[in-house]
Structure 1
Amino acid sequence: MNILIVDDEPLARERLARMVLLQEGVRVVGQASNGQEAIRLAEKHQPDLVFMDVRMPGMDGLAAAQHLAELEPPPAVVFCTAYGDYAVEAFSSQATGYLLKPVKQADLEQALNHSRRVNKAQLTELQQHPDLSSGGRTHIAAKTRGGVDLISVGNIRLFQADHKYVTAYYGDGEALLDETLKDLEEEFDGRFVRVHRNALVSIGHIKGLVKDLDGQYFVRLNGLDITPQVSRRHATTVRKLIEQL
């Protein structure tokens, strides 16, 4: 069994690695200090199991686990949490869903014995998040002068149309796509919502709505300065959606 350990504290990672290596038939294929690094190493090494710290700077463990659930095949994810993280217990209610810190050897052994593949109940919980609907691609290809860049759909905040081209705005910048907004809306239904005839926004990145003096609504998105306009046609739908987030 291949193991990936994710924790922002080096001493915690090393301690857990030593405990894991006491078990037969396992090896640690990588250690990551944050969620983004965990995703990169998981794509590279395809671990069977990820021990994931919950509270980390940048992308936390819950967000990283959502991305890992999209991998094929997805690794099992066991959260490592302090006593105060009661939300994790509700999030991963099955016995192998989380370990309490400081991790005990007996609990670790139990997690290893029951986590050969993704915990079905845990994966169901992850897929209930609207930004992780199972439909559609996990990456979109954007043509550049140097070739083709692959953009993670989970990192895209906004698709905005301008004539026959669509611009994807994501965490690291923007890219022109040779695709129609209509096709993107159909493919990523449940992950993106139309707010205007020329804009789709990522449900998982919505921060809220702002209203100007003329009564016009605009969407605030995590990690993006652009605030797409909400047309009057879509305003009611968008407001109801945000109330449910």
Structure 2
Amino acid sequence: MCGILAPSYLNCSTVSRLYDRREDISMYDVLVCDDNKEFLKLVILLLDKYADLYQITVTGFACGQELLEYCREHKPDIVYMDIKLGEKNGMMLGKTIKAMYPKSLMIYISAYDDYYVDMVQAEPFRFIPKDAADIPGLERQLADCLEAAVRRISGREIWTFTFKRKKYHVELRKIRYYYSVARAIYIVGDLEKMPTHYYQKLDELQKDLEKLDGSFVRISKSCIVNMKYIQSVRKNKIEIDNRSLSVTAGYQERFREKYEKYWNTFI
């Protein structure tokens, strides 16, 4: 017997294959190229902080030729590229890589702002001003670009919440469900040393999730669930992690519609 119960028109073996496919996790190859070795180390250090969150490996190159040789053997997913690379022009190198791998995303880094026209031809995904003096600002821009790039490549959605004035980022696929008690919203999932609750209205969270991911559905006044983790549906009860949750009146019809539509996307 398979681990999840789908609508009746899906047989058990089909559900199992679909569930396995949705759980497939691949590492994304992120490359950084800058001839300033100290800045290169800094960028790698900052990106490595997000390796687990975004499932990435980060490799650095201080020479454009070494980067190109690597790319001849390996397809990069995301490339952070300094525009001025000694004798090599970073944008020309970026054009070469894009010609080899059109789906690779190029993020250009430069202390100069007079390259915008040329960058259009180099098909940039993002541009980051080069400022090693503002490390928090640099990290924020690196992380924002990384999040956007991973979303573009994989379709994975990152949800951000704030607790005690600190922002936390988590992949929505790791969250099983939310439930509210008074003003607090509790998060059930693989949070990895993150807070298990924060403060927001559940109606506001529902709107945020609808913009990000179609996998979530509200089942009651106090609960929103990730449909990928539903193990079974019995009348007006669902089961997630062997815990029974009620689909209350007023939410049942919408739940059935979304749940059936969700499974249709995998057929």
What TM-score does the superposition give when structure 2 sets the normalisation length? 0.41
- Structure showing greater relative contact order (alpha-carbon pairs closer than 8 Å, 6 or more residues apart): 2
What TM-score does the superposition give when structure 1 sets the normalisation length? 0.43
Greater CA radius of gyration, 1 or 2?
A: 2
